[in-house]
Amino acid sequence: MPYAKGQSGNPKGRPKQTAEQKSQKEQFQRLLKSSTVEALQSIIQIANDRYNKDRFNACKYIIDKAYGANTAFLLDGTEDTAPTVIRIVPYGKENEDWNEDDWEEEWNNAPDENEDE
């Protein structure tokens, strides 16, 4: 049976909760809030573990919660945004003699691909 325009499909509204249901809901929320710090620490630990298969999801979760989902698509060019800095760490360079500035020397001494032309 169709409803008349402007008439609610649920005129009585949501059923009221009993006192016991309200108490259980409040107890559940207190339990969740009490474990928030430990849960966030676990997510951060996963995000910092470079060999964990869920690292990307943990990082994405943290960024989404901190800045909101899809914030990159909300930029319209009028914001004064800082440039994105990507730090490249050489894989397998566990030698203590390796200096972070050594990459620049290797880059400058690398043969130029267009040199043969």
Q: How far is CA 15 from CA 12, 21, 23, 43, 100, in A?
A: 8, 12, 16, 37, 64
- pLDDT tens figures, 92-106: 555 556 666 666 777
Which residues are CB-neighbours of 40 under 8 A, at least 6 positions away? Answer: none
Look at residue 21 in the predicted model and tell me its pLDDT.
94
In angstroms, the CA 21 to CA 6 distance is 32
Measured from the Cβ of residue 62, the count of other Cβ atoms closer than 10 Å reads: 15
Look at residue 22 in the predicted model and tell me its pLDDT.
94
Please state the pTM of the whole predicted model.
0.43
Look at residue 18 in the predicted model and tell me its pLDDT.
93
- pLDDT tens figures, 12-60: 888 889 999 999 999 999 998 898 889 999 999 999 998 999 999 998 8
Q: How far is CA 38 from CA 32, 57, 105, 116, in A?
A: 11, 18, 44, 58
